Structure 1
Amino acid sequence: MRTVRARSAVVLAGATLFGPAAVPVLADTPAPSGSASAEATAGPTEAGTTFRTAAFFRQGQRATAEASTGDYLYWVFPADTGQRPTVTASVTLPESAARHGASTWRIDVYDGLRRRQPCMYGMQSRAAAQEAATVELACTLRPVRPWADTWDDDPLPGSYFVRLTVTGLPEEDLGQPFTAEIGATSVEKGGAYAGGGSLAAPLVPGATTEEAAPADTPSAVEARAPEDGWSSGWWSDRWIWTAAGGVLGALAGIGGYTLTRGAGRPSRVPPAV
């Protein structure tokens, strides 16, 4: 998100000049591609039934699918360094008269290594009463980091898989039709979660290079990347804070030297008359 990071730099520079009151603006400003206020665009109208067949959508799009209760539905979307994704799901349930009891629905999010990522907050599992028409689910992930140690499970840039299914319902209700709608948005967290390195490549399972792809089709890497490409991983708005701190430190040193020099000068005694 190069454009977003450029704007972040301007905001942080303004924070240095006008005080800390400007900082929360950056913390709560969502990325343009994942803005909750942006008009959602149409996404895929089908879902996959495995990780390999997951339907691809971009942040800001709304993906839909029709399936039968008991099916596992899969989607995949890209998330880049510094983003904190929130996945939402809305399930339109079968007619209440045709159901025999309550049902419980759940969404799980996995990274490109198929590691299930915990939710910072959000209702990722929810029970729906027999008379309920819809059920709403949400999962906010931890901010995506540019790299992590091999033993860590921090979310990394690349593909994120969403799985939706019913985890509990009367056996008589298996196979009844339902409709699902999935979406994802992100808030830019910036340098607060930056690291000292970056991955050699984003975690995009099954990705191929452009040389291996046919000349008239985009590579799998490009097809699974954000619209403006993956970030390089070296840039962080932490550089702005570092530069601003250096400038303020230099100004403070100059000011202190000036005051000290002025205090050490002998006072001038007027000449005798």
Structure 2
Amino acid sequence: MASTTRAASAALLAAAALFTSAGAAAAASPSPSAPASEDGAPTEAGTGFRTATVLKQGQKATADASTGDYLYWQFPAGAGQQPQVKATVNLPEAATRHGSAVWQLDVYDGLRRRQACASGEPTKRASEQDATVTLTCTLRTVRPWSERWANDPLPGAYYIRLTLTDAPDQDHGLPVKAEVEATAKDAGGARAEGGEVTPLHAAAVKEPEDGWNGSWWSDRWAWTVGGAVLGALAAIGGYVLTRHPRRPAQQ
């Protein structure tokens, strides 16, 4: 009886340790990157896909440009991550502008397929008096693989394009300054899937910390193993409760 009780206690402690570590892993988030002045964030943008400036996750890149220019950056994203892009444009002096302007933020995958924003405000109109305009785009979670016909976000390089889509002709060419940041939230094991694919045109960007196809860890592992441990505990408990005590042998 004592050995059975010890076994049940050991299994219970193992289950508690398992779920504690699972919670810690799920709650972990990437460490914040160093300030731009320390991490060498780029201060220029490319003018097309082929010249897109490489940007690390968490960096804040800046670029001086003219109103109407197309500005391009690229950054990496791996399976299980949900990329988020934010762009802020410091507009020309209000006295030099002749009306409102519409700015647009687009994100493309390594095959140059435009990816829809799951949330955010990728297009915004700035009034003639606004000093800045901020655009945001959060993509769907990057998948480790996909059907050929699908337009799912896949591991690899992602391109950011920032540009003006509508403004008075007289305002084209006025100086602006753009600031862009690309981050990625870990979607966790609930989004984990089997399979993997070769990163899309990712030679120029650095592989994410957890690899292109994500970390092997997911909370699905925790729940699977934890369920097995709890099942074993239930079986041991049932055995202890239903076991008939032995009667002492008669002399």
TM range (shorter): 0.7 to 0.9
Q: What stretches of structure 1 of length at least 5 have no aligned partner?
A: 1-11, 206-220
Residue-by-residue CA offset, 1:181-238 (whole Å, 9 max, x unaligned): 1111122112111111111x21126xxxxxxxxxxxxxxx3x4123647245571312
Residue-by-residue CA offset, 1:73-130 (whole Å, 9 max, x unaligned): 1100001121111100010111110000011111010111111111121111111110
Task: Provide the rounded CA distance (Å) in 2 between the counterparts of 1:85 and 1:39.
Answer: 20
Cα 1:256–1:153 shift into 2, 3 Å:
farther
Q: What stretches of structure 2 of length at least 5 have no aligned partner?
A: 1-14
Cα 1:231–1:164 shift into 2, 3 Å:
closer
Identity over aligned pairs, percent? 52
What corresponds to 1:181 in structure 2? 179
User: 1:254 deviation in Å?
Assistant: 2.2
Task: Provide the rounded CA distance (Å) in 1 between the counterparts of 2:27 and 2:164.
Answer: 33
Task: Verify: 1:255 aligned to 2:237, yes or no.
Answer: yes
* SS of corresponding position for 2:153: coil
What corresponds to 2:12 in structure 1? none
Task: Provide the rounded CA distance (Å) in 1 between the counterparts of 2:113 and 2:89.
Answer: 24
Task: Kindly indicate whether the alpha-carbon contact (under 8 Å) linking 1:86 and 1:138 is maintained by their aligned counterparts in 2.
Answer: yes
User: 1:245 deviation in Å?
Assistant: 1.9
Match for 1:204 among 201, 206, 219? 201
Cα 1:234–1:98 shift into 2, 3 Å:
closer
What corresponds to 1:109 in structure 2? 107
TM-score (norm 1): 0.76
Task: Provide the rounded CA distance (Å) in 1 between the counterparts of 2:170 and 2:224.
Answer: 62
User: 1:28 deviation in Å?
Assistant: 6.1
Runs of 4+ in structure 1 over 6 Å off: 266-269
Task: Verify: 1:16 aligned to 2:6, yes or no.
Answer: no
User: 1:57 deviation in Å?
Assistant: 0.8
User: 1:38 deviation in Å?
Assistant: 5.6
Residue-by-residue CA offset, 1:152-192 (whole Å, 9 max, x unaligned): 22211100000000111111111111111111112211211
Task: Verify: 1:50 aligned to 2:57, yes or no.
Answer: no
Task: Provide the rounded CA distance (Å) in 2 between the counterparts of 1:13 and 1:203.
Answer: 41
Task: Kindly indicate whether the alpha-carbon contact (under 8 Å) linking 2:155 and 2:213 is maintained by their aligned counterparts in 1.
Answer: no
Cα 1:190–1:164 shift into 2, 3 Å:
same
Task: Kindly indicate whether the alpha-carbon contact (under 8 Å) linking 1:42 and 1:62 is maintained by their aligned counterparts in 2.
Answer: no
What corresponds to 2:30 in structure 1? 31
Task: Provide the rounded CA distance (Å) in 2 between the counterparts of 1:112 and 1:83.
Answer: 15
Match for 1:131 among 124, 129, 132? 129
Match for 1:88 among 82, 86, 89? 86
Task: Provide the rounded CA distance (Å) in 2 between the counterparts of 1:96 and 1:254.
Answer: 76
What corresponds to 1:224 in structure 2? 205
Task: Kindly indicate whether the alpha-carbon contact (under 8 Å) linking 1:42 and 1:63 is maintained by their aligned counterparts in 2.
Answer: no
TM-score (norm 2): 0.82
Task: Provide the rounded CA distance (Å) in 1 between the counterparts of 2:115 and 2:27.
Answer: 22
What corresponds to 1:193 in structure 2? 191
How many residues align? The count is: 232
Cα 1:178–1:13 shift into 2, 3 Å:
farther
